[in-house]
Amino acid sequence: MKAIRIHEFGGPEVLKYEDVNEPQPGLGEIRIKIIAAGVNPIDWKIRRGLIGEVPLPMIVGLDVAGIVDAVGQGDVLFQPGEEVFAKVSIGQGGYTEYTVARSKEVARKPKSIGFIESAAIPTAGLAAWQSIFDIAGLEKGQSVLIHGAAGGVGTFAVQFAKWKGAYVIGTASEKNAEFLKSIGADEVIDYKNQRFEDLVSNVDVVLDTVGGDTFERSWSVLKPGGLLVTTVASILEGEPKKRGVRAKRVMTQSDGKELAQIAAIIDEQKIKPVVTNVFPLADARKAHEMSETLHTRGKIVLRVRDDSK
Ligand SMILES: NC(=O)c1ccc[n+]([C@@H]2O[C@H](COP(=O)([O-])OP(=O)(O)OC[C@H]3O[C@@H](n4cnc5c(N)ncnc54)[C@H](OP(=O)(O)O)[C@@H]3O)[C@@H](O)[C@H]2O)c1
């Protein structure tokens, strides 16, 4: 089968489109015939060697949507032929024709959308879900400021928060303002021309997907006891207490049950993955170059095979 692998860490040029052996499902695992694979910043961070030791060569990618094509021994919960999506473990590979997933990482794909949109969900959707609900416990009537609202995580977070009944403020460049309002943002702050801390105060939750200066300037907009959740920044010990608030960095976990909850909300037409760019598998390099601009809207997805096959 074909796969995009890296044999060394580096720039987009280290992505190689090559032949590899098909994986076999082990105990409690299923094999997925992949139709589409989602692209995430973590993929190029791993490619660059920023995420610590991973065994090489390695098939890149974590997010897949496809069809169960073989099941291993044990309790696997899925049958061949079922349409599924998953965030697989690092090293199993998403940018390829077949992958193996642990049964608990997998969920049945939403019925109302295709494989391309389903492949856009796992990492970004779970990061948003775990930040907003598992960590922050966001409730109806609360307020949330989402930094990077137009990105992969942000577009899910805006929609989840709105679905829950929260007041949603997003930061994005001006070109994304109308788009963000159309998916549920009550207010959009143009971070290039406005300082969000001059416009926002007393929010219950900040979700930061940008880091750096944006993270540092976010402490002041929280209400006392409020919560700053970040997907990227390191939180200095003692800092939240000093500021009279709470803070947590999310470490997104694969979770088939949460993916099933997200699928249900999608099928109720409450939210929708935002896919703006689709590349063939062989063009993964272009997808990485685009993602590394840090200014894509929604998600980039690789088409691995035609879904009629
Ligand atoms: N810890 C975890 O478990 C976890 C999980 C998922 C993601 N992450 C990390 O979270 C980060 C975001 O992921 P993602 O998938 O959402 O990335 P992404 O899709 O690449 O985010 C791109 C978006 O960021 C926006 N942006 C860039 N600079 C901004 C700024 N200064 N203020 C506000 N918005 C800004 C851009 O909007 P404009 O074009 O309008 O500028 C663009 O829409 C990445 O670093 C990723 O690795 C971590």
Could you give the CA distance from residue 92 to residue 103 in angstroms, rounded to a whole number?
14
Tokens 């700053």, residue located: 228
Q: What is the mean pLDDT of residues 278-285?
A: 98
Could you give the CA distance from residue 174 to residue 188 in angstroms, rounded to a whole number?
8
- Residue 42's φ and ψ, nearest 5 degrees, are -60, -30
pLDDT at 309: 46
80: pLDDT strictly greater than 80: yes
CA angle 160, 165, 166 (to 5 degrees): 80
111: pLDDT strictly greater than 50: yes
The string of pLDDT tens digits covering residues 190-239 is: 999 999 999 999 999 999 999 999 999 999 999 999 999 999 999 999 99
- How many other C-beta atoms can be found within 10 angstroms of the C-beta atom of residue 293? 7
Q: What is the dihedral of CA 215, 216, 217, 223, to 10 degrees?
A: 80
Could you give the CA distance from residue 287 to residue 301 in angstroms, rounded to a whole number?
8
Which superfamily does 2-121+273-303 belong to? Medium-chain alcohol dehydrogenases, catalytic domain (3.90.180.10)
What residues line ligand 1, using a CB cutoff of 6 Å?
40-42, 45, 123-124, 127, 147-148, 150-154, 171-173, 176, 191, 209-210, 214, 231-232, 250-252, 291, 294-297
Could you give the CA distance from residue 223 to residue 239 in angstroms, rounded to a whole number?
15
pLDDT at 308: 58
* Packed helices 122-129 and 152-164: angle between N→C axes, nearest 10 degrees: 40
pLDDT at 126: 99
307: pLDDT strictly greater than 90: no
**Where do the CATH 3.40.50.720 domains begin and end in the chain?**
124-249
pLDDT at 53: 84
- How many other C-beta atoms can be found within 10 angstroms of the C-beta atom of residue 241? 10
Q: Which amino acid residue places its CA nearest to atom 36 of ligand 1? A: 295
Percent of the chain with pLDDT over 70: 99
pLDDT at 155: 98
pLDDT at 89: 95
Lowest mean pLDDT among 179-183, 203-207, 303-307: 303-307
Distances (CA, A) of 258 to 110, 223, 273, 293: 13, 29, 15, 30
Q: Which amino acid residue places its CA nearest to atom 9 of ligand 1? A: 231
The string of pLDDT tens digits covering residues 63-74 is: 999 999 999 999
| Local confidence band at 18 (pLDDT 50, 70, 90 cut-offs) | very high
Q: Which amino acid residue places its CA nearest to atom 48 of ligand 1? A: 231
- How many other C-beta atoms can be found within 10 angstroms of the C-beta atom of residue 285? 17
Domain 124-249 has CATH 3.50.50.60: no
Q: What is the pTM of this model?
A: 0.98
